[in-house]
Each structure stands twice: as structure tokens, then as C-alpha cells.
Chains A and B, each alone.
Chain A
Amino acid sequence: MTMDTYAVTPFLTWTLAIPLLGAAVLALVPREHHAAHRWLSFVFSVVAFLVSLSIWVNFDASLAGFQLVEDRAWLPFGIRYTLGVDGISLLLVMLTTFLTPLTILGAFSAIQNRVKEFYIAMLLLETSMVGTLVALDMVLFYVFWEFMLIPMYLIIGVWGGPRRIYAAVKFFLFTFVGSVLMLVGIIFLHVKAGGDTFSYLDFLRLDVPVREQMWLFAAFGLAFAIKVPVFPFHTWLPDAHVEAPTAGSVILAGVLLKMGTYGFLRFAIPLFPEAAGAFVVPVMVLAVIGIVYGSLMAYAQDDVKKLVAYSSVAHLGFVMLGMFALTTEAVQGSLLQMVNHGVSTGALFLLVGVLYERRHTRLIDAYGGIARPMKVFAAILVIITLSSIGLPGTNGFVGEFLILAGTFREALSAPGDLGAANFKTAGVVFGVLAASGVLLGAVYMLTMVRKVLFGPITHPENERLRDVGAREFAVLASLVVCVFWIGVFPNFFLKKTEASVNATLKAYKARIVEHRAFHAVRPTPDIARDLVAEGEARP
């Protein structure tokens, strides 16, 4: 990876600074003016989105390296303020700046107490999320990564449901556990690199012995796996989602979880390629377990929000599977699936929020037949559900198809092709199991839709439910537009990612080849014995 273009106009810094500025402005407005806080934070997040559009426009899809790079000295020890965006982070940056204003708009009626603090927290969260995605200095990245926890912790802990304190503390401690070990890994790499740089690009050039790579991959991987969350580390997620307010859930599912998968693709795989190669099978096993287990758990829930939360575990299992298949299609599919999951799960959480605001319950049994009073709501819910289960024409289809196609292609390709070692037969099994996960997804989502929307109205208070209002419709409709846009014209998005994904995979495979070649020329014990015998035979 290289730094390809330097920023003429610091759009990345602006995208970071505008929400921060917004938070500062909000802090100065007296707390009684609720409407002012709501609209100001919305306006600031929209401006941030508009600025980020110019990142999109100025992004050259033909370049693989980092673009719009800004690089300034910041702290001693070679810590720099380095920002840059490439095909891997671009879509996620756009997703963040796109979802934040929608979430803020969606929270207008739900958040009634401590309004000022809520929107300050949302704007700080946006800055830290974008910062995590565009930081190219490992310390800068770590600072944003950790700081992200504080606003989210407050959002869950202050505006959440009845068990919010438990959920908030669990969320904080779980995600912090992984991160501090990653910090040790970062400092270790820094010392290895000569003790005067924390630059991501310098770390990429390091030649770390495989034994150390294993430990470092474990340290980084744990931080990211908890964030994703990969199967055994997922227990904080249902708690956090159920207790968080709607806006918190949308951001959590839409963006925060992607930080984990992004971390794998940006840091864990390119920095420690040999270790990543060795970890392919275990990670894929966990990913497939996540898909099947998440789907089954989702099916068993009677709380809509918990159902959506478990469906996230399954969807991110797909993302992990595609990423560790390490083919261009699969990785691009994973990237697109991250965005898809942000859009469709974000929309699902918003829809659950709409129901909750009207009935103050999220139990599936409390609903039934509400398609009649809430016609627009029902239409949107059906569309989003179809996108979530991957119906052709919607965004979910493209992502899942690419992931499965990439996984199978890698597994079924001619022998001798590169990629992960000993992956051939296992890959087919994983592909089949994951494909069955798509079916399971259809089962639990459609069951939920049937129980909530259709059938007779069993609760009389559901007879006169208010349909979505103009504000809610605006939020949901923009997500529906995205569903079809990505579903019908995926190339519009995919082509921005192609060069960077190819370059990353190429670098990865080159390292693996080098590694194998190195081990191939070393004499095996047999050859060594023969050589010794030969030597002895000679006079």
C-alpha cells in the first residue's frame, strides 16, 4: 500500500471536525431549547455528510493506495496525525456519515430527557467513528477506537432500557478487554520498527517472524472479534442492543460492529499475513457457527429487537466468512455486505423503534395484523425484510451472492492456486453450511413479519395504531432507496473498492508465496538424512 494522492482540501479533517464543532456549539446552547438541539445536531451531521460526498467524488477508483492523505507531526515517538481513505474504508465512511443524520432525525421523538447531552454524544460518536476509519497512524487509530466507547457507553447507560447499566458496563468492559491487548501489540510493533514510527504503512513493511505474528494476530484479532462480534465473544451484543435506545442500536449495528470487520481487513490480515493464513480455518469455523447459531437464536426470540440483534450475529458471520475466503469477489462481497447490514439492520431497528414508540413493548405477541392500520409501515418492513434475507434485486442478495461465490470459487478452484493452506475441502463444507444460513434467515425473518404484520388483530389497542409520520417516512424511505440502489446497481459501489481489495489480496498472497517458498527450499528431515548419508558414503 502506498499513499497515492495527498489532500488539496482537507476533506477528511473537515468530516471529522464538523460533528466535533457541532458538539461544541450544542454545548453552548442552553439546555431548555430542545428543538434547537435537535435541529442543530441534524444540520451539523448533514453538513458532515455533504462534505463526505466530496470525498466520494474526489476518490479515484483506479488507485489502490490511500487517497486524500493528510500527514502532520503530532506527538513525540513519531506519532503523527495521518489520515487517508482507500477503497476499503471509503464505503464505510460514507455509511457512517449517511446513517448518523438519519439516526439523529429518527431520535427526535424518542429522546425526551437530557436532549442536549444525547445529541452531543451522537456527534462525538460520529467524529470518533469516522476517525477510526480514516486514521493511518496506529496511535491515532487507537485513540479514536477507544474514544468511540465513551459516547456509546453513555448512550446505552443514560437513555437505555431497564437493564441499561448492566448492558452498558458489559459493553464497555468486553470491548475494552480486546483493545488493551491490541495496544500492547501496537507498541510491540513500534519497538520492532525501531521505536520512531507508528505509521500503518511502516508497520506493513515490517518482516515479523511467524511465531510473533501468531501472538500479534491473536491480540489484534481478539479486539476485532469482540467488536464484530465473532461467535464466542458475542454475548454483550444482545444485551447492548436490547437496552440501547433506537438511535444507539442503529449506530451500534450499522457502524460500530463494522469496525471489527474493518479491523480484520485493514490491520489483522495485511500486517500478519502468515498468521492470518494459519488462522483461516478456525476463523471460518467460528464464522459459520455464528451464522447458524445466530439464526437459530434469532428464531427462538419473542422480542423483536433481540431477534434483530441475533440476526446481526448471523449477518456478520457472513462478512467474516467472505473476508477470510480471501478472494476478490468474497472480500468485495464482505465490504458490500457490511454496508448492506448497516442499511437493512439499521432500518429494522428504526422500524422496531417506531413500533416501540407507539406501544412501548417489543414482544412479537403484542402485535399481529398491524398491516391494516399501518400500511406504509408494513410495506417498508416487508421490503427491508426481503433485503435482509437477500432477495434478488435488493442489496442483501448482491452481498451474500458474492461472498458465497467467492468462497466456493476458492474452495473448488484448481489445485495449486493460492490462498489459505488446507482449505480445499473445508471450504466447500463452510460454503454449504453458510448457504443454509441464508435459508434459516428467511425462516426467522418471515416468521417474524407474519406474526407482526398479518393475521387477525388480537390486541384491540392495535386497531388504531398511527402509521409512520412524515419524519419517520423520510428516514425509512432514504434507506429503502439505498436497498434498491445497491441491489440494482452494485457496481456503482463495488468499482470504488476493487483496486484496493485487489492490492491488499495481492500483497497477502505474495507474502504467503514467499513464506512457502522459504519453507520449501529448507531441507526436510528426509533430505537432510540423505545428504548426510551421501556425505558419509564419500571417502
Chain B
Amino acid sequence: MKDLLTLSPLWIPALTGVLALVLDLLAPRRGPRGFLGYLVAAGLGAAGLAAVVLWTEGPALEAPFLSDVLRLDAYAVFFAVLVVFAGVATSLFAIHHLPEQRAEHGEFYVLLAFSVAGALAMVAATDLVTLFLGLEVMSLAVYVLCACRKGSPFATEAGMKYFVLGGFASAFLLLGIAFLYGATGSLNLVGVAQALSRGGAAGAQTYAGVALVLLLVAFGFKVAAVPFHLWTPDVYEGAPTPVTVFMAGAVKAAAFAVLGRVVLTAFQAPSFASLPVTAPGAFLVLSVVTMVVGNVLGIVQDNVKRILAYSSIAHAGYLLLGLYAVTGSPGALNGGVPFYLLTYVIATVGAFGVLSLLARAGVEDLSLDRVAGLGHRHPVLAALLLVALLSLAGIPPFAGFMGKFYLFREVLRADPATNVPWVVVAVINSLVALYYYLRIAVYLYFRDPVGEPAGAIRTVPGFVAAGVAALLALGIGVFPGRFIAASEFAAARSTIPASLAEAGGRGGAVRQREDRVLKDVRPLIRSRETLRRLREAERRAGGAAP
């Protein structure tokens, strides 16, 4: 029973999906389907709540059974909350968007719930096959969601393109897993890591190096890193905008979480550094190329959705820089990458979310000329979009500034001398990005629309979701303390302790690090009860150790 409760963030979304499916069948055939949106939002919200409750349980999060396959530790829970946030927002934005676009199908919400379930399984996976299954459940649902506007050639194109290229990426992932299995004889991340650090069979390191490249290709596709980004602008533009919210928010967060965990856990063997392709080198190259290409191409776009698609590519570049800095030396992640993802997901959900509300009467063309003058016509919507854009641009006092600040600080701290040029490249890139964010702002406030202006949908849930995102973008920018502590706490658990798979207990080094983090966050935990439980868990852990 306790195990079931511990795993609740994983099965609640799946159950919600099944429930929505049944209700969809029972409801009148041509009737409205908005209630399913509320249902899915509530179900996903419950999953998020369960995850938050688990978080407050302290460090002893992992479910005892399935611990070989799934591990709901703080790292997974942190990203689960991000995924769920994007999922709930997607569902709320869709409630009035879909009827307006004449694309209301009950399956939309069903697939959304399944997709979230898949993403959560993926971030909690410690086993490569489970990871692959989670990724496929998530992706397959999104392929269909992209094409759910049946009449629209753009949506069909988006779905097709995403599906074909996504299939390629999955093949790369599978091949990578196969190579890794061949090299190490294990499918478990910890097992892989142990095999690699022991040296393994002849040539194992080389095969593992090939596997690393294949995995980077697959995840590069999911996080939209250059040169695996070609699908991104078309799919983000063609898909219904709530689905874009989900892709840019949840899918990217989940993919980054897994990428960080896989690389940090499995590919940190010291003997690995002699290979021609090392994780930090690959991350650095990907990061710089992604930032530059994303931002430069963002400048020349004329469609707000495409601009934000390129911005989302560029943000993947900054995040890869964060991964580059941590993979340089063995050890866990620092809080920079999770916190940046947190601020990015909030801002991008807010930005695409507002765009999804500008889709009145079937047409969904969001060229700059049509959103021009939004500041006069819909001051509230324009202000919500502006907050999201300023946060994405990294301007204080919004959350995006703290995100960039923290990320760049960690990159510099990792190696002050050699990393300065890369941080300079990143800030120059954020300048280039500022140009296109400002360009949108100029159209919003200073220009008049050309042709028929984009009309706004009247929708309470949509406004609430966009408003919450904007409030968070401001609130986390001004009072980031707790969120930074949470990111650090989660990041310290990004590697799976090696001893777990063997003995079921925590290893000494990991425990020391956890103790240190615990010391940092303890003042932040208010509740006496939580503190007591935390102490107890600590004592028990201490007693178990020799």
C-alpha cells in the first residue's frame, strides 16, 4: 500500500487518462468535451500534489519495489512537477482553444494524460528499457496531438514531420541502448556505470563511446539541439498552440532531466576521458552551435510562434552549456540546470499559452503583423505575454534573469579560467535574443495591426493558467531562495548512488553530500513535523551504516 502511495505521481496520470477515455465514450457523441479538460487538469494536478507531498517526505523518496527500474527521488520529483505544471497548463489552454479551432476531440485530453504519464515514467526511470518505454509513450501521444486539427494541412505536416524524425531519434536511442548493453551487459544505469568503471571487456569503452554519441543524437532531437532541430520551427508552428506549450515545456524538461541523469550516472568513468568523444566536449560543441543558430535564425522570423520556437532552441543551448560545465568533473549536477529549466518552463508555458488564446474563429496565423497592437486591444493578455518574454530574455527582476545568473555562475565556478569565453558567448547570445524578444514587444505595444488582428478567446481557465505563469515568473525572480534550494537539493541527487543497486543502502560519499545539502535546506523547511520525520530518516540511515 505504501509503495502504491509512493508511486502515485506515476499512476494517477495514467488512471486519469483511462477515466477520460471511458467518459469520452460515455458522453454524447457530438457534445462538448471541455469537461475532460478540467478532469485531466485536476488529475494531473493531483499527481503534482502527490509529487510535492513526496518531496516534503525528505530524502528517503525511492520506492523500495521496482527500485531497479524506477526511482522517484528528489531529482525525478522536481522534474515531475515541471512536467505536470506544463501538462495542467496545456489542458487548461486547450479547453476553449480546441472548440474555437474546430478540433475538439475527447482523445486530445486522453492522449495528453498518457503523454504526461510517459514523461513521468521517463524521468523516474533508472533502467534504459523503462526509459525508452516512457519516452515512446510520451512521444507517440504527442505525435497524434500535433496532428489533431484534422482539416489543417499545417497540423498534418507537423504531425508527420515530428513522427518521422521522432522515429529516427527513437531508432538512434535504441541502437545506443543496444551498444551500451553489448559493452556492459547491463541495462541499468548503475550497472552500466559500474561495468564501465571496472573497465569491462575489450573494446567496451569504445562501444560505450559510440553509445554516448547515439544517445546524444536521440536526446538532441528531443531537446531540439542544433543540428537535430530542423523539425522544431515547423512543428511548433503547425501544431495546435496548446500542444506547442506541452512540447516546449514538458517534453523539453523531461528530456533534459533524463539526459542529465544518464550522462552523469553512466558516463562518468575516469577511463572515459581518453575517448575521442567525451561528454563535456560534445556538450560544449552542441551548446555553442545551438545557441548561435537558434538566436540568429530567431532574428529573421516574422511569425511569433516561429520566433519562440527558435528561442526555445537557443534556451536548449544555454542548458547544454550548464551540462557541459558539470560533466567536466565527476559528481552530481549543481542547481543551475534544474533551476534554469524551472524558469524556462514557466516562461515558455506563459508565452505559448498566451499565444494559444489568440486563436479566435478557426484561423491560427500568428504573424507579427496580426498580433501588432495587442497592447491596446487586450492589455491584460499583452502584459502577460510581455512578462513571459522579459523572463525568457533574462531581464531582472523576472525569473529568467535569476535562471541565467545562476547557470552562468555555476559554469564559471566549475572552471573560472577556461569557461569565461563560453559564458561570454552565452551572454552575447542572450543579447541577440533580446533583439527578437523586443521585436515582439515593439509589435505588441507600438505598432498597429496589418490586416485582420488576431482575436482573443474568452476563457477563464486559459487566463488563470497564463496569469499563474506570469505571477510565478515575477515571484521566483524576486524571491528565488526556496526554489534555488529545491533545485540544489534535487540536483545533488542527479546521479544514482552506485551502492543502491548492490546493497540497497546509500553509499558514504553520497550520504555525505546529502547531509551537506540537508544542512543547507533545513532552515528552509518550516514544518516541525517534516523536520522531525527528516531527522528520523537521517537517524535510521545513520544507524544502518556501519
Contact = CB atoms under 8 A, between A and B. Distances in A.
B392 to A, nearest CB: 14
A150 interface: yes
A164 B446 contact: yes
B520 to A, nearest CB: 9
B492 to A, nearest CB: 14
B201 interface: no
B193 to A, nearest CB: 29
Nearest to A169: B438
A143 B396 CA distance: 6
A172 B447 CA distance: 18
Given A139-B405, A184-B408, A195 B431 contact: no
A147 interface: yes
B99 to A, nearest CB: 33
A76 B395 contact: no
A518 interface: no
Nearest to B485: A76
Contacts of B406: 77
B428 A157 contact: no
A188 interface: yes
Residue picked from A76, A139, A168, most chain B C-beta under 10 Å: A76
Interface of A is mostly: helix
B434 interface: yes
Interface stretch (B152-160, B210-218, B416-424, B456-464): B416-424
A173 B408 contact: no
A157 B405 contact: no
Residue picked from B406, B409, B423, B439, most chain A C-beta under 10 Å: B409
B450 to A, nearest CB: 15
B442 A180 contact: no
Contact of A181 (B402, B416, B424): B424
A27 to B, nearest CB: 11
Contacts of B408: 183-184, 187
A184 B427 contact: yes
Nearest to B423: A184
Given A173-B431, A173-B438, A180-B430, A187 B445 contact: no
Interface in B407-455: 408-409, 412-413, 416, 420, 423-424, 427-428, 430-431, 434-435, 438-439, 442, 445-447
A158 interface: yes
A517 interface: no
A43 interface: no
B397 interface: yes
Contacts of A180: 427-428, 430-431
Contacts of B420: 184, 188
B438 A172 contact: yes
Interface string A259-274: 0000000000000000
Nearest to A142: B396
A297 interface: no
Interface string A187-217: 1101110010000000000000000000000
A183 B446 contact: no
B465 interface: no
A176 B397 CA distance: 15
Given A139-B405, A176-B431, A184-B427, A165 B446 contact: yes
A225 B470 CA distance: 34
A173 B428 CA distance: 11
Given A150-B395, A157-B445, A158-B445, A75 B416 contact: no
A426 interface: no
B44 interface: no
Contacts of A190: 409
A184 B431 CA distance: 13
Interface residues of A, number: 31
A184 B445 CA distance: 31
A183 B405 contact: yes
Nearest to B424: A184
Nearest to B413: A191
B167 interface: no
A429 interface: no
B508 interface: no
A88 to B, nearest CB: 24
A142 B435 CA distance: 20
B412 A188 contact: yes
A183 B442 CA distance: 25
Nearest to A144: B396
A513 interface: no
Contacts of B397: 143, 147
A239 interface: no
B427 A173 contact: no
Contacts of A192: 416
A75 B480 contact: yes
Contact of B446 (A139, A157, A181): A157
Interface in A121-159: 139, 142-143, 146-147, 149-150, 154, 157-158
A169 B441 CA distance: 10
A161 to B, nearest CB: 12
A110 B424 CA distance: 43
B481 interface: yes
B484 interface: yes
A177 interface: yes
Residue picked from B405, B445, B481, most chain A C-beta under 10 Å: B405
Interface string B37-50: 00000000000000
Interface string A73-105: 001110000000000000000000000000000
A191 B412 contact: yes
Contacts of A169: 435, 438-439, 442
B409 A187 contact: yes
A505 to B, nearest CB: 30
Contacts of A158: 445-446
Contact of A191 (B402, B409, B439, B445): B409
Contacts of B434: 172-173, 176
Contacts of A184: 408, 412, 420, 423-424, 427
B480 A195 contact: no
Nearest to B429: A180
Interface string B214-225: 000000000000
Interface in B368-418: 390, 395-397, 401-402, 405-406, 408-409, 412-413, 416
Contact of B481 (A75, A139, A150, A191): A75
Contacts of A77: 406, 409
A139 B480 CA distance: 14
A56 B195 CA distance: 70
A361 B338 CA distance: 55
Nearest to A76: B484
A181 B427 contact: yes
Contacts of B402: 75
A192 B484 CA distance: 21
Contacts of A173: 431, 434-435, 438
A271 to B, nearest CB: 17
Nearest to A215: B420
A185 to B, nearest CB: 10
Nearest to A74: B481
Contacts of A150: 390, 395
Interface in B474-492: 480-481, 484-485
Contacts of A75: 402, 480-481, 484
6 contacts: A76-B480, A165-B447, A173-B438, A177-B431, A180-B431, A183-B427
Interface of A: 75-77, 139, 142-143, 146-147, 149-150, 154, 157-158, 164-165, 168-169, 172-173, 176-177, 180-181, 183-184, 187-188, 190-192, 195
Nearest 9 pairs between A and B by C-beta?
A143-B396, A180-B427, A76-B484, A191-B416, A187-B409, A191-B412, A165-B446, A146-B396, A191-B413
Given A139-B405, A157-B442, A183-B427, 18 more contacts: A75-B484, A76-B481, A147-B395, A149-B395, A158-B445, A158-B446, A168-B446, A169-B435, A173-B434, A177-B431, A180-B427, A183-B408, A184-B412, A187-B409, A187-B423, A191-B409, A192-B416, A195-B409
